[in-house]
Amino acid sequence: MANGHSTAIGGPSSGGLMDSKAAQWVRANFFSSWWNTALSLVLLYIVGKTLIWFLGWGVFNAVWYGPAADCRAAKGIGACWAVFPEKWRFILFATYPYDEQWRPALSCVIFFALYVYSALRVNWNGRLPLVWIVGLLAIAFLMWGGTFGLSFVPQERWGGLVLTLILSTFGIALAFPLAILLALGRRSHMPAIKTLCVVYIELIRGVPLISLLFMASVMFPLFLPEGITIDKLLRAQIAIIGFAGAYLAEVVRGGLQALPKGQYEAADALGLSYWQATRMIILPQALRMVIPPMVNTFIGLFKDTSLVLIIGLLDILNAAKTAVSDPAWRGFGPDVYFGVSLIYFVFCFAMSKYSQQVEHELNRDRHR
Amino acid sequence: MTAAQAAKSTEAPMIQLKKLNKWYGEFHVLKDIDFECRRGQKIVVCGPSGSGKSTMIRCINRLEEHQKGDLIVDGIELTNDLKNIEAIRREVGMVFQHFNLFPHLTVLENLTLAPIWVRKVPKKEAEETAMFFLNRVRIPEQANKYPGQLSGGQQQRVAIARSLCMKPKIMLFDEPTSALDPEMVKEVLDTMVSLAREGMTMICVTHEMGFAKAVADKVVFMDKGEIVEANEPEAFFSNPQNERTKLFLSQILNH
């Protein structure tokens, strides 16, 4: 299979196609023995078969546009992408008033802008929190409205991508400091603080997120004094922050423990206070050590926001599920989920790639 | 500080340990330690490993906690009071066996961090002081490198400079040359000798007997958590009194 493009590299004396570098590489890596050759061929067959099936289903036989009837005709043979041109507004914005959907769309754009802005290290300065506050205020204003000619949209009608972004952005942004405090508290010498943190971490980490969401939505209001209500989205948000915080705390603690004792001692010996040492010596080193498991938790949190469907919030996954409950499009769930999965994948993959880059840059001082 | 106070503090020992005791669980590491160090004195503490010598000097700046006895540093009694502990740590510099530089900060940042945040020195002034001391330890050209890019000897000299930037009244050295390759020991010892010549008060846990002979005012020998013998270097090396001292000296001087 390598013969087709190997002619160009052939050495002057060899002449034969099999002596080119590409051919040598292929032979060394795939056909070095009978066993390897057999394995390569079997794998090639499986991969090829899968790819051909996938291209047939997802591209050549897929229905890209048209009414549900076309999809029904192609069922089992080709994917039904036609559901997206039909339903994309509902999937992305859910029950937000149709004519006002530019507002969540713009909110998503602001979120993206904030992500990109924060990702650039030149912007890691005192202005960053300010930019976030302005961005979030703009999003709040757009989503709620009620002033400057924008109609008021209650939170019950928010949904789709923007809801997923709200839940995961606040989730990560607030779970992170919570986790740091919990991890520090768990290592504290003060028994009360230590016990409190241990109990919190073990308790929250030991129950499923779903049950926390349930408790937040059903039980929590029972404890509030009469007349005070906290809306469902905020309750779900608190549950997610609390849950992710407990998980993340153990990751951070891992970093704190991995740091050599000498670093703590040197900071102490120089007369730095606990918080000075923590902020300038301990955390910068501990956190960069745990970037991989930390991002692991962030990615998990991002996907876990989809569990809010059990308390009836329409995040992007639940919106997609609701979209295909339309009788006309019933039965095309897998196709829709596939499309929405791609959106999740793009976000998670971006996080993963970005974290690798940050890790590399922050560890520059380790390179000689 | 008034003149009267200054006079008074020169009379009293800079560091005073009275009947100091420490246990690690059941293990009695320090037994009734009586120890004094006056301003400008250079004391070398030696002894076999596990004798408690590092533990003793680590008690002085509260990296280790003692359970019984009194410890007074520069007129401040060391108790559980965090204020006192921080006050003492500001005045007492420490150099560690494993340097313990901050690897995520440049050499210059290592040197300026504590002066800026603890002593509240303006950044520019802190950097000037840092460069002054880097010159003193003869590596000003490494200021913007990271500790990981330096040799062991260079790192230890940076660590010494880092302590000096806090303008401490006392310097503690905890086996400063033990983790170094042999060819780097001298450059660190030279730095310490010149520091001693300038009148710094120093307590130094080390096995470098050449250093002890050259600069020490007093050599203290510890074994099994006790101070066995303390004397001026000449007498200590030529005429040790205790059997344990004799044994130790024969072991470290005879090769």
**Residue pLDDT, tens place only, B103-113:** 999 999 999 99
Cβ-Cβ contacts under 8 Å, B146 against chain A: 365
Confidence class for position A8, pLDDT limits 50, 70, 90: very low
Which of B63, B93, B99 shows the shortest C-beta gap to A268? B63
Does the beta-carbon distance from B166 to A270 stay under 8 Å? yes
Q: Is A258 on the interface with B (CB under 8 A)?
A: no
For residue B6, the surrounding DSSP H or E stretch is helix B3-11
Cβ-Cβ contacts under 8 Å, B93 against chain A: 269
Q: Is A359 on the interface with B (CB under 8 A)?
A: no
Is 80 exceeded by the pLDDT of residue A229? no
Residue of A nearest to B146 (CA): A365
Residue A345: both structure tokens together: 């994948």
What pLDDT does B167 receive?
92
Distances (CA, A) of A145 to A139, A140, A142, A149, B18: 10, 8, 5, 8, 73
Is 80 exceeded by the pLDDT of residue A228? no
Residue A167: both structure tokens together: 């839940």
Does the beta-carbon distance from B63 to A269 stay under 8 Å? yes
pTM of the complete model: 0.82
Quote the CA–CA distance of A157 and A71 in Å, as a whole number.
30
Q: Which of A259, A270, A288, A368 to mutate to test the interface with B (most CBs of B within 10 A)?
A: A270
Is 50 exceeded by the pLDDT of residue A6? no
Does the beta-carbon distance from B102 to A266 stay under 8 Å? yes
- B170-174 and B92-95 beta bridge pairing: parallel
Q: A269 to chain B, minimum CA–CA distance in Å?
A: 6
Residue of A nearest to B94 (CA): A269
Q: Is A296 on the interface with B (CB under 8 A)?
A: no
Low-confidence ranges of chain B (pLDDT < 70): 1-11, 254-255
Which of B89, B102, B166 shows the shortest C-beta gap to A268? B89
Cβ-Cβ contacts under 8 Å, B114 against chain A: 270-272
Confidence class for position A322, pLDDT limits 50, 70, 90: confident
What pLDDT does B216 receive?
92
Angle subtended at Cα A78 by Cα A75 and Cα A82, rounded to the nearest 5 degrees: 85
A–B interface: beta-carbon pairs under 8 A: 67
**For A153-367, CATH number?**
1.10.3720.10
Residue of A nearest to B150 (CA): A368
Is 80 exceeded by the pLDDT of residue A364? no
Q: What is the mean pLDDT of chain A?
A: 84
| pLDDT, tens digit (0-9, with 9 covering 90-100), for A299-317 | 999 998 988 888 888 888 8
Q: Is A136 on the interface with B (CB under 8 A)?
A: no
What pLDDT does B174 receive?
94
What pLDDT does A4 receive?
43
**Residue the block writes with tokens 């004396």:** A13
Q: Which of B57, B64, B100, B142 to mutate to test the interface with A (most CBs of A within 10 A)?
A: B100
Residue of B nearest to A275 (CA): B117
| pLDDT, tens digit (0-9, with 9 covering 90-100), for A37-72 | 999 999 999 999 999 988 888 888 878 887 777 777
Q: Is A261 on the interface with B (CB under 8 A)?
A: no
Which of A276, A281, A368 shows the shortest C-beta gap to B102? A281
Confidence class for position A31, pLDDT limits 50, 70, 90: confident
Does the beta-carbon distance from A269 to B93 stay under 8 Å? yes
Is 50 exceeded by the pLDDT of residue A368? no
Cβ-Cβ contacts under 8 Å, A277 against chain B: none
Q: B53 to chain A, minimum CA–CA distance in Å?
A: 17
| pLDDT, tens digit (0-9, with 9 covering 90-100), for A332-341 | 878 888 888 9
Quote the CA–CA distance of B220 and B34 in Å, as a whole number.
11
What pLDDT does B157 receive?
92
Q: Is A276 on the interface with B (CB under 8 A)?
A: yes
* Positive or negative: CA dihedral A222, A224, A225, A231: negative
Find all residues with CB under 8 Å of B194, minimum gap 6, and list them.
B136
Domain map (residue ranges) of chain A: 153-367
Is 60 exceeded by the pLDDT of residue A3? no
Cβ-Cβ contacts under 8 Å, A272 against chain B: 113-114, 117-118
Does the beta-carbon distance from B117 to A281 stay under 8 Å? no
What pLDDT does A96 receive?
82
Cβ-Cβ contacts under 8 Å, A285 against chain B: 102-104
What pLDDT does A9 receive?
46
Cβ-Cβ contacts under 8 Å, A281 against chain B: 102
- Higher-confidence position of A96 and A352: A352
Q: What is the arithmetic mean of pLDDT over A136-159? A: 84
What pLDDT does B18 receive?
92
- B42-46 and B218-223 beta bridge pairing: parallel
Task: Show the 3-state SS of A79-130.
Answer: CECCHHHHHHHHHHHCCCCHHHCHHHHHHHHHHHHHHHHHHCHHHCCCHHHH
- Higher-confidence position of A361 and B145: B145
Is 90 exceeded by the pLDDT of residue A276? yes
Is 60 exceeded by the pLDDT of residue A234? yes
Q: What is the arithmetic mean of pLDDT over A282-303? A: 90
Is 70 exceeded by the pLDDT of residue A268? yes
Q: Is A271 on the interface with B (CB under 8 A)?
A: yes
What pLDDT does B1 receive?
46
Does the beta-carbon distance from A271 to B166 stay under 8 Å? yes
Q: Is A365 on the interface with B (CB under 8 A)?
A: yes
Residue of A nearest to B119 (CA): A271
| pLDDT, tens digit (0-9, with 9 covering 90-100), for B69-93 | 999 988 888 888 888 888 889 899 9
What pLDDT does A366 receive?
61
What pLDDT does B133 receive?
93
Residue of B nearest to A288 (CA): B104
